[in-house]
Structure 1
């Protein structure tokens, strides 16, 4: 009988053992009076340190699945996540790239934090949303909410704004002189990009968070904030390059982030963004902090795609800004020539714009303005080459060379289009 008693001691509570304090404890989230500790199964006899060592051999996904086994197991996993061992195991220290220069994070890091976000969601499933956020923030500085419904995501955003005083920081950077608070600008950019924006693969999720950031502000401030978040940065120190668009030619890489965000908002199926809202945002963006070089504006429109480019230019046609519109067509052709885009794209945009005008006379005036703009821009470039500094003669001459080629290829595409039309073939 004595042997029999010893053979079953594992299922008999023995509160007299001193080491019992090191056994797995009931979760702090449970009611001690109603807790069913038997759901721990064989794990109940293990010291907490041994249980944590066992968890080291499980992946984040496996721990996440284990958290749904029972309420008691869930509580032990919450305890593990809050421990030093769990912190060192689960939280990668290189989530943000070191230094100011933004480098794309490895996919494995992003996948790890997505799995971690799901683990936190499951571990805190029985808590109210506010309590879930408090617990998660105390454990991890970046909150990942993949799979949460929109109402909870709204609460997440409000929680983050309150916790980090984000609205005050954003107000500071959008109201101050560009570049005067360069460290604060970079802080807002990195926080919003790395915590709220960059890790999403679903376009609707990205649109949700960028909308939360932009919509509380008037359109002028939206454009300023959009530039802070996605505009070009200096290659030397990583700070926002405010004069890049106004004093120098920006390449595709400098404008891609802005263009992708504008396309995302334009394609968003939501009452929060209309086509007119996005076009107004493009218009305001082109004067941040001052008027952009027209070539930079044209390159942004090309990167935004045909729909945004046409809508933007059609709004100018409706408002009677024919001269500005014709000059933009010239620079669309120039960018297509420089960046090796198909020139027929610029010609088709011009053709669609012609259909916006109501009368034949308005179309003729628009086409005449395009030809006059080509002539004026070429003369300006030629004068710049003749009077330019010796050190920059090569760049100025190359720009003139591209412009002349752009004019030739633009008119060539028009001739192809005219000769391939049914009416032209009938006449021949």
Structure 2
């Protein structure tokens, strides 16, 4: 039986309260460690009368602190692994802490002892995303995964004492990573902000402006888009396509300040970052407006909807998937009220109402020639109700003045996306790619 009970409480996507109870004594009270939801905290481990707490209190990029059982108040916290310029995540195994940093959206992992001394930088298999490094306190080995846009996720065994890694398991797929390249670039957004983007394609790509390109984005809720392998994307790449992913404000790639720079009345920054990414790809010759497709889902569907209404000339194709497209009423449906921390609501103030209405995709459709658009949703989506997509598609079809096709694809007996059977996923991505290539006039 455990000695201590740790309780977390939250009512939004960001921030939580933290409570503690000593189970070694009867009838002990539940003591608040943090009794507000302004920041995020969780207990990583306990040893020798000390608790180790991961937090972003006073540290937007996160840090690990130490405090004793008798002195839980944040004023008594002592930094064990301080905040740096790179976003921190923490795990533990074998009596060690593993500090996983996001360095320009790419993984860097460092090993620390419980006194906060750095022991080594872990040599990863390449430039990409590493995850795991979690296990029991008496473990001699720990397992982690590594992936990138051109490397399928593989498992590695790491020797905690020596620091050596060995490949443990790799999937057997018909894809040769050596024929492709995945490079990180940096571009400048409208207000001068430096934004990273990873561009993946076949080696020897000709920068002639005619390469079919998917620009994928999210930009919200502190979610970091880090390199990951996708079988579906390999089909696009194998057919000469370019796949580009910018790390927009609103995400968590550079910590809480980066997140907040894309929320509420800063939300336009996210759209500006995405537009600037598209302009960069066009300027450098990767693609042109006639061969560019915008893609994103959920909050990313909002992103695509906003950008295609603000800049209908930017791309040839738009794929807003399960999107939040009615920004005036989103909080009145299912889980919508929980997104207010990022978006604000039309009920907050007249100023917030006007700001939301100013970019709400549904409310900014005007008579114009829009990109070829395939809206995708599902009839049982209880996170972002399909009414968003229904209303947007109908209004877009009414406002659209060009020759590009505007369609909606409604999956039946499916939800927001998680848990879709493989056959359903294949059918959907086949329709998306076929629609995009047809609209671009590309045949295979």
The answer to whether the superposition gives a TM-score over 0.5 is: no
Greater fraction of residues in strand: 2
TM-score (norm 2): 0.28
TM-score (norm 1): 0.29
Instruction: State which structure, 1 or 2, has the greater radius of gyration over its C-alpha atoms.
Output: 1
